[in-house]
Amino acid sequence: MNSSTINSFPSGASGHGTVTRQCVRDLRRALGRERVLATPEELIAYEYDGTIERGKPQAVVFPETTAQVAAAVRVARRFDVPVIPRGAGTGLSGGAVATVGGVVVALTRMKRILEVDPENRFAVVEPGVVNLDLSRAVASHGLYYAPDPSSQRACTIGGNVAENAGGPHCLAYGATTNHVLGMEIVLSDGEIVQIGGRSRDVPGYDLTGAFVGSEGTLAIATKIVVRLMRMPESTRTLLAIFDVLDDASNAVSSIIGDGMLPSALEMMDRNIIAAVEPVIHSGFPLDAGAVLLIEVDGLDEATREQAAEIERICTRHGAREVRLAVDPPDRERLWAGRKTSISALGRLYPNYYVLDGVVPRTRLPGVLRQTYAIADAHGLAVANVFHAGDGNLHPNLLFDEREAGVLTRVLDAGAEIMRLCVAAGGSITGEHGVGLEKRDFIGWIFSESDLAAMAKLKTAFAAGDRYNPCKVFPTHRGCGEVTSARAQATAAAVGGDVYV
Amino acid sequence: MSSVAAAPALEEFIDAVCPPIERNRVRTAGLASFEIDGDRPDIALWPATLDEVARILSEADEARLAVVPLGGTSHAALGNIPEGYDVALSTTRLDAVLEHEPADMTVSVQAGVTLASLQRLLAGHGQTLPVDAPSTDASTVGGLISSNAQGPLRHAFGTVRDWLIGTTVVHADGTVSKSGGRVVKNVAGYDMHKLYVGSLGTLGVVTEATFKLAPTPRVDQTLVARFDSPGDAGRAAHQAHDRSLAVHSLELLSPAAAQHALQIPLWCLLVRSAGLPGAVDRSIRDLNTIVLEHRGKLDSVDAICWSAWAAMFLDPPLALRASVLPSQVAAVLEVMDRSFAGAAARASATVSAGLIRLRLEPTREERGPALIQRARDIVARFGGSVIVEAAPVSVKHAADVFGELRSDFAIMRRLKQECDPRRTLSPGRFVGRL
Does the beta carbon of A170 lie under 8 angstroms from any beta carbon of chain B? yes
pLDDT in the model for residue B2:
46
Q: Looking at chain A from residue 445 to 484, which residues have their Cβ under 8 Å from any Cβ of chain B?
A: 445-447, 449-454, 456-457, 459-462, 472
pLDDT in the model for residue B299:
97
Cα–Cα dist A74/A68, whole Å: 10
Rounded to the nearest angstrom, the minimum Cα separation between A483 and chain B is: 19
- Chain B residues in contact with A471 by the CB 8 A cut-off are none
Cα–Cα dist A171/B129, whole Å: 17
Task: Indicate whether A489 pLDDT > 50.
Answer: no
Task: Indicate whether A1 pLDDT > 70.
Answer: no
Rounded to the nearest angstrom, the minimum Cα separation between A118 and chain B is: 10
Task: Indicate whether A3 pLDDT > 70.
Answer: no
Q: Over the stretch A359-415, which tens digit does the pLDDT of each residue have?
A: 999 999 999 999 999 999 999 999 999 999 999 999 999 999 899 999 999 999 999
| pLDDT class of A6 with cuts at 50, 70, 90 | very low
pLDDT in the model for residue A173:
93
Task: Name the least confident of A46-55, A105-114, A475-484, B168-177.
Answer: A475-484
Residues in chain B with pLDDT values less than 50: 1-3
Instruction: Note the ipTM here.
Output: 0.96
CB–CB of B178 and A446 under 8 A?
yes
Which residues does residue B128 pair with via DSSP β-bridges, in sequence order? B214
Task: Indicate whether A494 pLDDT > 60.
Answer: no
Q: Which of A362, A442, A460 sits opposite B188 (nearest CB)?
A: A442
pLDDT in the model for residue A487:
47
| pLDDT class of A310 with cuts at 50, 70, 90 | very high
Does the beta carbon of A373 lie under 8 angstroms from any beta carbon of chain B? no
Task: Indicate whether A492 pLDDT > 50.
Answer: no
pLDDT in the model for residue B428:
96
Q: Which of B189, B238, B323 sits opposite A200 (nearest CB)?
A: B323
Rounded to the nearest angstrom, the minimum Cα separation between A279 and chain B is: 31
CB–CB of B183 and A198 under 8 A?
no
Q: Which of B181, B192, B283 sits opposite A427 (nearest CB)?
A: B181
Q: Which of A313, A456, A467 to mutate to test the interface with B (most CBs of B within 10 A)?
A: A456
CB–CB of B188 and A445 under 8 A?
yes
pLDDT in the model for residue A4:
38
- Chain A residues in contact with B192 by the CB 8 A cut-off are 210, 453-454, 457
Task: Indicate whether A57 pLDDT > 80.
Answer: yes
CB–CB of A431 and B187 under 8 A?
yes
Rounded to the nearest angstrom, the minimum Cα separation between B26 and chain A is: 29
Closest residue, chain A, to B420 (C-alpha) = A456
The residue that leads in pLDDT, B206 or A44, is B206
CB–CB of A361 and B104 under 8 A?
yes
Q: Are strands A83-86 and A103-106 parallel, antiparallel or unpaired?
A: parallel
CB–CB of A453 and B188 under 8 A?
no
- Chain A residues in contact with B161 by the CB 8 A cut-off are 206, 209
- Chain A residues in contact with B216 by the CB 8 A cut-off are 259
Q: Which of A166, A261, A305 sits opposite B185 (nearest CB)?
A: A166
Q: Which of B190, B194, B357, B409 to mutate to test the interface with A (most CBs of A within 10 A)?
A: B190
Closest residue, chain A, to B281 (C-alpha) = A301
Rounded to the nearest angstrom, the minimum Cα separation between A348 and chain B is: 30
- Chain B residues in contact with A163 by the CB 8 A cut-off are 187
pLDDT in the model for residue A476:
55
Q: What are phi and psi for residue B222, nearest 5 degrees?
A: -110, 135
- Chain A residues in contact with B190 by the CB 8 A cut-off are 210, 213-214, 454, 457
pLDDT in the model for residue A14:
56
The residue that leads in pLDDT, A310 or A479, is A310
Does the beta carbon of A391 lie under 8 angstroms from any beta carbon of chain B? yes
CB–CB of A209 and B161 under 8 A?
yes
Beta carbon pairs, A and B, within 8 Å: 253
DSSP letter for A232, please: P
Q: What is the mean pLDDT of chain A?
A: 91
CB–CB of B353 and A390 under 8 A?
no
CB contact at 8 A, B318 and B161: no
- Chain A residues in contact with B279 by the CB 8 A cut-off are 298-299, 301-302, 305
Q: What is the three-state SS of chain B?
A: CCCCCCHHHHHHHHHHHCCCCCHHHEECCCCHHHCECCECCCEEECCCCHHHHHHHHHHHHHCCCCEEEECCCCCCCCCCCCCCCCEEEECCCCCCEEEEEHHHCEEEEECCCEHHHHHHHHHCCCEECCCCCCCCCCCEHHHHHHHCCCCCCHHHHCCHHHCEEEEEEECCCCCEEEEECCCCCCCCCCCHHHHHCCCCCCCCEEEEEEEECEECCCEEEEEEEEECCHHHHHHHHHHHHHCCCCEEEEEEECHHHHHHHHCCCCEEEEEEEEECHHHHHHHHHHHHHHHHHCCCEEEEECCCHHHHHHHHCCCCCEEEEEECCHHHHHHHHHHHHHHCHHHCCEEEEEHHHCEEEEEECCCCCCCHHHHHHHHHHHHHHCCCEEEEEECCHHHHHHCCCCCCCCCCHHHHHHHHHHHCCCCCECCCCCHHHC
Closest residue, chain A, to B171 (C-alpha) = A453
Q: Looking at chain A from residue 292 to 311, which residues have their Cβ under 8 Å from any Cβ of chain B?
A: 298-302, 304-306
Rounded to the nearest angstrom, the minimum Cα separation between B182 and chain A is: 7
- Chain A residues in contact with B171 by the CB 8 A cut-off are 453
| pLDDT class of A485 with cuts at 50, 70, 90 | very low
CB–CB of A199 and B106 under 8 A?
no
CB–CB of A261 and B178 under 8 A?
no
pLDDT in the model for residue B74:
85
Q: Which of B162, B175, B187 sits opposite A433 (nearest CB)?
A: B187
Does the beta carbon of A387 lie under 8 angstroms from any beta carbon of chain B? yes
pLDDT in the model for residue B6:
66
Q: Looking at chain A from residue 53 to 82, which residues have their Cβ under 8 Å from any Cβ of chain B?
A: none
pLDDT in the model for residue B141:
97
